[in-house]
Amino acid sequence: MIRMDLHMHSTCSDGTDKPEDLPGLIRQEGITLFSLTDHDSTDGCKRVKSELKPGEADFLTGVEFSCKDDLGKYHILGYGYDPGAASIKEIVALGHRYRVDKLDMRLQRLKEMFGITFAQEDVDLLHKLNNPGKPHIANLMVRCGFAENRVQAITQYLNKLHCPDLYVSPQQAIRAVTDGGGIPVLAHPCYGSGDQQIMGAELDERVKYLMDFGLKGLEGFYSAFVPKQTKQVLDLAEKYKLYVTAGSDYHGNNKLISLGDTGLEQTQTVPKGLESFLERIADLPGFN
Dihedral sign, CA of 239, 245, 246, 247?
negative
List Cα–Cα distances, 288 to 32, 63, 88, 275, in angstroms. 12, 16, 18, 18
Q: Which of 184-188, 213-217, 252-256 has the lowest mean pLDDT?
A: 252-256
The single-letter code of the amino acid at 52 is L
Give the model's pLDDT for residue 129: 87
Percent of the chain's residues with pLDDT above 70: 100
Domain 99-160 has CATH 3.40.1000: no
> For the sheet containing 183-186, what is the strand order?
4-5, 33-36, 58-69, 72-79, 183-186, 217-222, 243-247
The Cα–Cα gap between 215 and 147 comes to 40
**What 3-state DSSP class applies to 88?**
helix
Q: CA-to-CA distance for 200 and 184, rounded, in angstroms?
A: 22
Q: Does residue 160 carry a pLDDT above 80? A: yes
Say whether pLDDT at 1 is over 80.
no
Average pLDDT, the chain: 95
Domain boundaries, the chain: 4-92+167-283, 99-160
Short-list 213, 212, 223, CA closest to 245: 223
Element (H, E) at 275: helix 272-280
Q: Using CB atoms within 10 A of its CB, is residue 145 exposed (0-12), middle (13-18) or buried (19+)?
A: exposed
Superfamily name with CATH number, domain 4-92+167-283: Metal-dependent hydrolases (3.20.20.140)
Q: 13 near 38, Cβ under 8 Å? A: yes
Question: Angle of helix 22-29 relative to helix 43-51, nearest 10 degrees?
Answer: 60
The predicted model gives 185-194 an average pLDDT of 92
Q: What pLDDT, in 10s, does the model give residues 91-143?
A: 999 999 998 999 999 999 999 999 999 999 999 999 988 788 898 999 999 99
| Element holding 104 (H helix, E strand) | helix 86-114
| pTM, entire model | 0.92
